[in-house]
Structure 1
């Protein structure tokens, strides 16, 4: 079986949060394969530790992916502050005889260094055109954990677990490996938080992750972390503002200072995204949606909303509002035919991570979250059939069937983009709904 089919069979998806099926990403040829180890979301500590603790597997996974797309160079992008991980990686690259193929490039400590298009520019000096993907400029980007999963797949192991960080206003932040389908409530409890109801929980990083309406969900292959903060914390209150409320506030208070635009990472790369113009359209109730198609260039990094705006408004939410309106009208942004050029002020407008962390009130919680071995043995797991971009997997097991850890329980629909799904435990299928499969762990009934 060639590597693409190995990856496909293992159910590997982008582990950085997007969840794009990796076998589909690696079908094209590119000049560079880039490994995203930036992990620029505050408080998350997964990739930096995986790179230090599993360097050989990650390097081998990256090399294999690079050879598959016939890349002439593999580049690992990691922030220069992670000196221990960088030292280990350099030593292991040399020991594996890959110094001529795999290179490490140290990233500056700014947000969002891990944005795919920002990363491409930082590592190659190329600019991904508006509304395009890195492949357009000869690059394919994969996440550090994705490279680890590729290496594991080459050894016969499908994706049944994910690494995530539990952090925030808690005594002992940790990073743990969790079986897919484990209840989020159980993960948080096992990590030492017993008074869960006192907290609001952010699913993912504090910048882009949403506040969970409840925590009765389950871990998926693309889960990266849970940030626990008291419900009255600024960040929770800010993120809890709905789109309609954000619209009302924006209409009455935007002063058109254009800070949201001047610090936008995609604008600084030369794209035409200008949140202040979208805010202006909202303020004056402009009806011509064609003029607001620039909203579709928003990557939703939240820098405008949580850092840039001096009036504490919601430009990202307004962009989302217009994205929805444009989709309803079937309108799509037409990219400029001009070659994008970085704005001359970009070097002076990168957002330092420490300043960002202070601005959103997380300095006191910016601590290590060491990779810790915790054995999760839940009574049951609920495994989603849609944990990825594309069509949901089709269940291939039935209620009452006994399954083994690593067994395929959901296959990709014929002719569709998708990812296979596997059982994370030995057990018995006790429920099979349209969107998930419930397995009673270790029980045969």
Structure 2
């Protein structure tokens, strides 16, 4: 079995948060394979620690993926501030005899350095065209944990665990290896939080993550972090404004200053993403929705909404509103050019991470979250059938069936994009529904 099918069988997906099935990226050849180790979301600490803890495995996983797609070079993108990790990676690359194929490249400490189109440009100077993917410019991008999972798959281990940072206004920020399907509450309690309900919880990073409406959910393969803040924190109040409320605020208060556009990462790469124009359309009730197709170029990094706008408005939310309208009418943005150049002012308009953290009120919580051994003994795990981009997995186990950790419990539907699912712990299948498989675990069986 070749690497593509090994990765497919193991259920490897993009562990950086998007959840795109990794095998699909390995169906084409590319000139470069890039490792995204930027981890640009404030407070999250997974990738930087994985590269320190498992350098050989990550390097080997990246190298094997690169060989499969016949890349001529592999590049590891990591922020220059992580000096010790950079030195370790360079040492191990040389020791493994990969110095002619693989290079560590230092990134500036900016947001969003981990946006894959920003990463492609920072590492190769190439620009991914509008509404396109890195493969269009000869690149395949995977993140650090994904490369680790590729290595594990090659050694017979499917994806049954994920690494998660718990951070924010809590006693003990930590990063854990967590069995997929574990209740979110159980992970949070491991950080010394006595009552999780006292907090608002952001699922993912503080910029792109959303506030959970309930803490009764479960960890998935693409879970990357949970940020806990007091319910009256600025960031929570901003993120919980409804789309309708954001529309009303934007319509009445936008002064067309252009800051949302001038600091937009995609605009600075030469794309036609101009949030101020979408805000203008909202203000003037422009009815021709086709004129607002540029909203589909938004990568939803939230820089415009949480950093750029001096009036504290909601351009990202308004972009999302127009995206919805465009999707409902089946309208897709059509690029008008093929070649792109960065805007001349780009180097002067990049967003420093520390300034961003201060702007969104997280400086006091910008602390280490050390990777800490933890033993999770949940009574139940719930494995979501759709924790990836594509079609939900189809259950291949029966009610009452005894399952072992690593056993296949959900398979990709025929002729569909998707990801296989595996039991993360030993147990018995207690429930199968349209959305998930519930397993009663271990000694509780």
Q: Equivalent residue of 1:227, what SS? A: strand
- Which residue is 1:376 aligned to? 376
Q: Which residue of the partner structure matches residue 25 of structure 2?
A: 25
Whole-angstrom distance in 2 between the partners of 1:303 and 1:442:
44
In structure 2, the partner of 1:256 is 256
Matched, 1:407 2:407: yes
Distance 1:399 1:444 in 2: 16
Structure 1 contact 130–336 (Cα < 8 Å) conserved: no
Of residues 70-79 and 329-338 in structure 1, the stretch that sits farther from structure 2 once superposed is 329-338
Larger mean Cα displacement after TM superposition, 37-46 or 84-93: 84-93
* 1:327-353 Cα shifts (integer Å, max 9, x gaps): 111111001224111000000000000
8 Å CA contact 2:182, 2:219 repeated in 1: yes
Indicate the residue corresponding to 1:357 in structure 2: 357
Matching residue of 1:311: 311
Q: 2: CA distance between counterparts of 1:157 and 1:324?
A: 39
CA distance in 1, matches of 2:16, 2:333: 26
- State the partner residue of 1:366: 366
Listed one character per residue, the Cα deviations across residues 14-34 of structure 1 (whole Å, up to 9, x for unaligned) are 000000100111110000000
Q: CA deviation at 1:443?
A: 5.0
Q: Contact 2:43–2:366 at 8 Å: present in 1 too?
A: yes
- Aligned-residue offset at 1:191: 2.2
In the aligned structure 2, how far is the partner of 1:290 from the partner of 1:345? 29
Instruction: Name the counterpart of 1:224.
Output: 224
1:328 match: 328
1:15-70 deviation per Cα after TM superposition (whole angstroms, max 9, x unaligned)? 00000100111110000000000000000000000001100000000000000100
Q: Distance in 1 between matches of 2:205 and 2:196?
A: 18
**SS of residue matched to 2:409:** strand
1:205 and 1:438 map into 2 onto residues whose CA distance is: 27
**Partner deviation per Cα, 1:369-424 (whole Å, 9 max, x = no partner):** 00000010100100011110011000000111000000000001111111000000
Q: How well do the aligned residues superpose, as a CA RMSD in angstroms? A: 0.7
- Partner of residue 297, structure 2: 297
Tell whether the 8 Å contact from 2:379 to 2:444 is kept in structure 1 after alignment. no
Instruction: Supply the distance in 1 between the matched residues of 2:288 and 2:85 (Cα, whole angstroms).
Output: 51
Aligned-partner Cα distance in 2 for 1:107–1:148: 21
Q: Distance in 1 between matches of 2:351 and 2:384?
A: 36
CA distance in 1, matches of 2:327, 2:436: 28
Which residue number in structure 2 is paired with residue 46 of structure 1? 46
Q: Secondary structure at the match of 1:437?
A: strand
Distance 1:370 1:101 in 2: 31
In the other structure, the counterpart of 1:115 is: 115
Q: Report SS of the residue matched to 2:367.
A: coil
Does residue 344 of structure 1 match 2:344?
A: yes
Q: CA deviation at 1:190?
A: 2.0
Shift in Å at residue 241 of structure 1? 0.3
- For the residue of structure 2 that corresponds to 1:16, the secondary structure is coil
Asked whether the equivalents of residues 305 and 313 of structure 1 are also in contact (C-alpha less than 8 Å), the reply is yes
1:435 Cα deviation (Å)?
1.2
Q: Residues of 1 paired with 2:187 and 2:338: CA distance? A: 49
Partner of 1:270: 270
Q: Determine the C-alpha separation between the residues in 2 that align with 1:283 and 1:351.
A: 27
Deviates more, 1:329-338 or 1:138-147: 329-338
Query: How many residue pairs end up in the alignment?
Result: 445
Question: Where does the alignment leave 5 or more consecutive residues of structure 2 unmatched?
Answer: none
Any gaps of 5 or more consecutive residues in structure 1?
none
Q: Following the alignment from structure 1 to structure 2, what is the Cα–Cα distance between the partners of residues 404 and 105?
A: 41
> 1:41 aligns to what SS in structure 2?
coil
Find the counterpart in structure 2 of residue 92 from structure 1.
92
Q: Deviation per CA, 1:85-116: give whole Å up to 9, x if none.
A: 10110110000000000100000000000000
Deviation digits for residues 302-326 of structure 1, max 9, x if unmatched? 0000000000000000000000001
1:205 corresponds in structure 2 to 205
SS of equivalent residue, structure 2 residue 210: coil
**Offset at 1:444?**
7.8
Aligned to 1:425: 425
Secondary structure at the counterpart of residue 228 of structure 1:
strand
Runs of at least 4 residues of structure 1 off by over 2 A?
none
2:159 is matched with which residue? 159
Q: How far apart, in 2, do the equivalents of 1:281 and 1:403 lie?
A: 55
CA distance in 2, matches of 1:22, 1:327: 26
Q: Contact between 2:170 and 2:191, CA under 8 Å: does it hold in 1? A: no
How far apart in 2 are the matches of 1:192 and 1:398? Answer: 37
Question: In the alignment, is the contact (CA less than 8 A) between 1:263 and 1:349 conserved in 2?
Answer: yes
- Work out the CA distance in 2 between the residues paired with 1:276 and 1:337: 21
Distance 1:282 1:172 in 2: 43
